[in-house]
Structure 1
Amino acid sequence: MKPFLIALLLMCWSPLAPAAESQLPWLTSLPEAKAKAKISGKMIFLDFTGSDWCAVCILLNKQVFQTPEFAAYARENLELVEVDFPHDKEQTESQKKANDALQDKYRIEYYPTLVVLNSNGRKLGTLNYNGEGPQAFIERIQKLAPRKKKR
Structure 2
Amino acid sequence: MIKKLLLLILFLGSITFQAQNLVWKTSMDAAITASNDENKPMLIFFTSSSAPNNLQNEVFKTPDFAVWSRDNVILVKLDLSDANASDVDKEQNVKLKNAFGVEDLPEVCFANASIRKSKTTFQALGKLGYKPGGAKAWISESDAILHPSE
Q: TM-score range by the shorter chain?
A: 0.7 to 0.9
Q: Which residue identity does 1:28 align to in structure 2?
A: T
May I ask how many residue pairs the two structures share in their alignment? 132
CA distance in 1: counterparts of 2:147 and 2:13, whole angstroms:
36
What RMSD over aligned residues (CA atoms) do the two structures have, in Å?
Answer: 2.5
Unaligned runs of 5+ in 1: 1-14
Q: Secondary structure at the match of 1:117?
A: strand
Counterpart of 1:102?
Answer: 96
Instruction: Answer yes or no: is the 8 Å Cα contact 1:26–1:81 preserved in 2.
Output: yes
The 5 A counterparts of 1:74-113 are 74-86=69-81, 89-113=83-107
Q: Secondary structure at the match of 1:27?
A: coil
Q: Which residue identity does 1:111 align to in structure 2?
A: L
Counterpart of 2:126?
Answer: 125
Counterpart of 1:41?
Answer: 39
Instruction: Answer yes or no: is the 8 Å Cα contact 1:60–1:129 preserved in 2.
Output: yes
Counterpart of 1:59?
Answer: 54
Give the TM-score normalised by the residue count of structure 1. 0.76
Q: Deviations over 1:3-48 (max 9, x none)?
A: xxxxxxxxxxxx9755431111101122221211111111111111
State the 4+ residue runs in structure 1 displaced beyond 4 angstroms: 15-19
Unaligned runs of 5+ in 2: 1-11, 115-121
Q: Which residue identity does 1:63 align to in structure 2?
A: E
Q: Which residue identity does 2:98 align to in structure 1?
A: D
Counterpart of 1:20?
Answer: 17
Identity, in percent, stands at 25
Q: After TM superposition, give the deviation of residue 140 of structure 1 in Å.
A: 0.7
Give the TM-score normalised by the residue count of structure 2. 0.76
Instruction: Answer yes or no: is the 8 Å Cα contact 1:42–1:79 preserved in 2.
Output: yes
Question: Max radius of gyration: which structure?
Answer: 1
